[in-house]
């Protein structure tokens, strides 16, 4: 007689063999309708699972994150079932739920087409209409191997062998799949779904393995949720930085120049200029000094730094300079190290913080290039900090705080933070790694930040903190990074003279706050949907006379704005004011000044704000004051 404790603290005894679904039957109502699985003693189980011991139960709501995961997971099974019906020889790999929906990796004899997706959707609907229950079975390894070998499911067989423990399977009608579960009670629970795309994916994520076809889909209990999802994707596409970059004339990438090489147009370059200006000011305030280094260096430098050992596949091929091989820089660090070495450093000199907007070039495989987010030539807002062991904690803390502040000034408050720890291949001692990792961790905790640990994801030369920002379609892009380096100080043999008169090895931190200006600009465009805050807007004010009669007055206003350091543009075309407003609105100019006869007579300006509309008339001096305030506050 298991005693089951409910979330409200109530404890009830049930007879042996009771299932969560029995309890739901008894409770009924909304809970029964909305629950798709149960968590018993922390473990998720099917509603048809057996409660055989005492424990705490909690029902999983269909619309909770876990509920949707189960929903999508079961949807993936239904999709696989449908594919199996259409392609009896299809073999299946993995089909998990993801952040937005689900996918299944399949091995089908021919390439799937969009028409196939339509067909698969139809068959899925049939399976759903049949409302077959998902039935769990637990098998021994041997039984499972026999079953899946019979089905010629080679990937499943491989997976069973890899697991090495008795697996569970789920049957649903004639379809059987290796799966941990839990699942929805039956296929009929899946109401509204859509298959979204087909892509290639390597078996087990290894590019040496064969490529499977990955079919992505999404499903929801309610039609409105599916509609909203599709609409959200459509809306997101409108603020894609590649679309806005073209529409707002910010940048372009040109085939004649080469893929992954960015042309910053005047408006984009202006925004970049403001970003850099802000960046420089903040760095000076934070105790950094600037350095500037060349774009190429002798091959030998890259040999010394280790880049030729671990980074060659990302470096552009060498060039010949007076019969000496040179390489274009993929990183700035070796240069900074060479500056360090030009003089003997005392412990009193540390910490040294050297920053550079350093433009680097990396060969990125063609398939990975993506607008401004992933390019082949980019400018890092790089800095290297050389410090003593006793300064490490403090430096890490400072960088974290500095970094978050920098992101905040561009409106990024919601970011994902990762701590990447020691990978399999590493240089340096375990003690050093542990100490450095501890320092990074301490820094994060002192700032009371939420972060995830990425075990083994550190660079071979040291642990790191990464901050990622999501683009408009929910794809994560790494921007900020703070890395400890045990490799290069060693290779370049940099030292400082300690209080004891001996030479010591300083600790080196690499850090980039925005990461690269290109990527950062990309996420920034999407973040603001192209409507940049006043301080960044390339054109801050559109001045528009209503008729030619007000042109002279409008011109004096435009000139006054320019004199006051406001970026003004005068639209004196002989067009209706509605036309000019539309134009300025489309260009997302923050402010419009409309100048008609009334304004001329009263010596006023009529203010209109982007997306907000008419703000009424004010004195020009007041308007300028207001703008200056807004610019200073960077809102």
Partner RNA sequence: GCCACCAUAGCUCAGUAGGUAGAGCACCUCACUUGUAAUGAGGCUGUCGCGGGUUCGAUUCCUGCUGGUGGCUCCA
Residue 271 interacts with RNA (CB under 7 A)?
no
Angstrom CA distances, 77 to 50, 100, 105, 171, 179, stand at 22, 16, 11, 10, 9
Q: Where are the alpha helices (DSSP H) in 37-190?
A: 65-86, 114-130, 141-150, 154-163
Contact in structure between 296 and 398 (CB atoms under 8 Å):
no
Contact in structure between 487 and 306 (CB atoms under 8 Å):
yes
Q: What is the CA radius of gyration of the chain?
A: 31
Bridge partners of 374, per DSSP, are 370
Looking at the Cβ atoms of 15 and 611, the one nearer to RNA is: 611
Site for RNA in 531-550 (CB under 7 A): 546-549
Rounded CA gap, 148 and 529, in Å?
50
Nearest distance from residue 609's CB to RNA, in Å?
A: 9
Site track 175-214 with RNA (rule: CB under 7 A), x = hit: ----------------------xxxxxx--xxx---x-xx
Given the residues 380, 483, 540, 550, select the one marked as catalytic.
Answer: 380
The binder of RNA chosen from 66, 276, 364, 416 (CB under 7 A): 364
Looking at the Cβ atoms of 189 and 410, the one nearer to RNA is: 410
Rounded CA gap, 535 and 627, in Å?
9
Residue 611 interacts with RNA (CB under 7 A)?
yes
Given the residues 214, 362, 374, 422, select the one marked as catalytic.
Answer: 362
Given the residues 105, 107, 240, 382, select the one marked as catalytic.
Answer: 382
Bond prior to 390 in cis (omega within 30° of 0) = no
Dihedral over alpha carbons 557, 558, 561, 566 (to 10 degrees): 150
Site track 573-602 with RNA (rule: CB under 7 A), x = hit: -xxxxxx-xx--xx-----x-x-xxxx---
Given the residues 107, 177, 213, 333, select the one marked as catalytic.
Answer: 333
Given the residues 510, 519, 587, 608, select the one marked as catalytic.
Answer: 510
Could you confirm whether 510 is annotated as catalytic? yes
Token pair 């919601």: residue: 414
Looking at the Cβ atoms of 101 and 221, the one nearer to RNA is: 101
For residue 283, the Cα-to-chain-centroid distance in whole angstroms is 25
The binder of RNA chosen from 606, 623, 627, 631 (CB under 7 A): 606
Could you confirm whether 273 is annotated as catalytic? no
Nearest distance from residue 549's CB to RNA, in Å?
A: 6
Rounded CA gap, 94 and 306, in Å?
38
The binder of RNA chosen from 95, 260, 334, 358 (CB under 7 A): 260
Rounded CA gap, 512 and 464, in Å?
11
Given the residues 272, 464, 527, 608, select the one marked as catalytic.
Answer: 464
Looking at the Cβ atoms of 164 and 578, the one nearer to RNA is: 578
SS3 (DSSP) at 260: coil
Stretch that binds RNA, among 5-13, 221-229, 361-369, 496-504 (CB under 7 A): 361-369
Looking at the Cβ atoms of 222 and 576, the one nearer to RNA is: 576
Sheet of 464-470: strands edge to edge?
Answer: 289-290, 352-361, 377-387, 507-516, 476-485, 464-470, 416-420, 452-454
Looking at the Cβ atoms of 108 and 176, the one nearer to RNA is: 108
Residue 359 interacts with RNA (CB under 7 A)?
no
Site for RNA in 434-473 (CB under 7 A): 459, 466, 473
Could you confirm whether 265 is annotated as catalytic? no
Site for RNA in 228-257 (CB under 7 A): 242, 246, 253, 255
Nearest distance from residue 610's CB to RNA, in Å?
A: 7
Per-position b or e across 74-112, b if 16+ CB within 10 A of its CB: bbbbbbbbbbbbebeebbbbbbebeeebbbbbbbbeeeb
Looking at the Cβ atoms of 136 and 241, the one nearer to RNA is: 241
Per-position b or e across 200-221, b if 16+ CB within 10 A of its CB: ebebbeeeeeeebbbbbbbbbb
| Residues forming the active site | 333, 362, 380, 382, 384, 464, 510
């Amino acid at each position: 007689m298991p005693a089951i404790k409910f979330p409200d603290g109530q404890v009830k005894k049930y007879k042996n063999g009771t299932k969560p679904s029995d309890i739901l039957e008894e409770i009924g109502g909304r809970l029964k309708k909305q629950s798709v699985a149960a968590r018993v003693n922390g473990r998720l189980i099917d509603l048809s699972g057996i409660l055989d011991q005492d424990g705490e139960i909690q029902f999983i709501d269909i619309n909770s994150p876990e509920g949707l995961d189960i929903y999508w997971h079961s949807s993936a099974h239904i999709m696989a079932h449908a594919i199996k019906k259409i392609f009896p020889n299809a073999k299946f790999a993995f089909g998990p739920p993801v952040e937005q929906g689900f996918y299944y990796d399949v091995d089908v004899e021919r390439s799937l087409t969009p028409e196939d997706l339509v067909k698969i959707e139809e068959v899925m609907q049939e399976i759903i209409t049949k409302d077959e229950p998902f039935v769990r079975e637990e098998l021994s390894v041997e039984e499972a191997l026999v079953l899946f070998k019979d089905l010629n499911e080679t990937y499943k067989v491989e997976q069973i062998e890899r697991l090495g423990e008795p697996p569970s399977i789920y049957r649903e009608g004639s379809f059987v799949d290796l799966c941990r579960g839990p699942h929805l009670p039956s296929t009929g629970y899946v109401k509204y779904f859509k298959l979204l795309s087909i892509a290639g994916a390597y078996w087990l994520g290894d590019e040496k393995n064969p490529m499977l076809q990955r079919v992505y889909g999404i499903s929801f209990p309610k039609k409105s949720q599916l509609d909203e999802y599709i609409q959200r994707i459509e809306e997101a596409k409108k603020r894609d930085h590649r679309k806005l970059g073209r529409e707002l004339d910010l940048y372009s990438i040109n085939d004649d120049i080469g893929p992954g090489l960015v042309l910053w147009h005047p408006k984009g370059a202006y925004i970049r200029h403001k970003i850099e200006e802000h960046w420089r000011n903040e760095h000076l305030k934070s105790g950094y000094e600037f350095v500037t280094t060349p774009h190429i260096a002798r091959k030998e430098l890259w040999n010394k730094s280790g880049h030729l050992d671990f980074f060659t596949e990302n470096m552009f091929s060498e060039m010949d300079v007076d019969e000496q091989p040179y390489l274009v820089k993929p990183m700035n660090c070796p240069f900074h190290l060479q500056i360090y070495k030009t003089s003997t450093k005392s412990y009193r000199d540390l910490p040294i913080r050297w920053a550079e907007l350093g433009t680097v070039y990396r060969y990125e495989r063609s398939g990975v290039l993506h607008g401004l987010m992933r390019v082949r030539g980019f400018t890092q807002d790089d800095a290297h900090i050389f410090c003593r062991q006793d300064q490490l904690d403090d430096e890490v803390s400072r960088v974290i705080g500095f970094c978050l502040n920098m992101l905040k000034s561009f409106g990024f408050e919601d970011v994902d933070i990762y701590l990447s720890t020691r990978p399999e291949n590493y240089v340096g001692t375990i003690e050093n790694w542990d100490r450095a990792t501890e320092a990074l961790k301490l820094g994060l905790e002192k700032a009371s930040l939420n972060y995830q640990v990425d075990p083994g994801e550190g660079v071979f030369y040291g642990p790191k903190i990464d901050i990622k920002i999501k683009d408009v379609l929910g794809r994560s892009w790494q921007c900020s990074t703070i890395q400890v380096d045990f490799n290069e100080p060693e290779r370049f043999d940099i030292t400082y003279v300690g209080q004891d008169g001996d030479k010591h090895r300083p600790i080196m931190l690499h850090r980039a706050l925005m990461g690269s200006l290109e990527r950062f600009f990309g996420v920034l465009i999407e973040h603001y949907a192209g409507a940049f805050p006043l301080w960044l807007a390339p054109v801050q004010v559109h001045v528009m006379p209503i008729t030619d009669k007000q042109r002279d007055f409008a011109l004096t206003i435009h000139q006054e704005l320019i004199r006051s350091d406001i970026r003004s543009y005068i639209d004196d075309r002989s067009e209706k004011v509605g036309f000019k407003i539309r134009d300025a609105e489309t260009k997302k100019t923050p402010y419009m000044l409309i100048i008609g006869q009334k304004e001329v007579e009263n010596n006023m300006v009529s203010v209109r704000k982007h997306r907000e509309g008419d703000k009424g008339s004010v004195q020009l001096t007041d308007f300028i004051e207001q703008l200056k305030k807004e610019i200073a506050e960077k809102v």
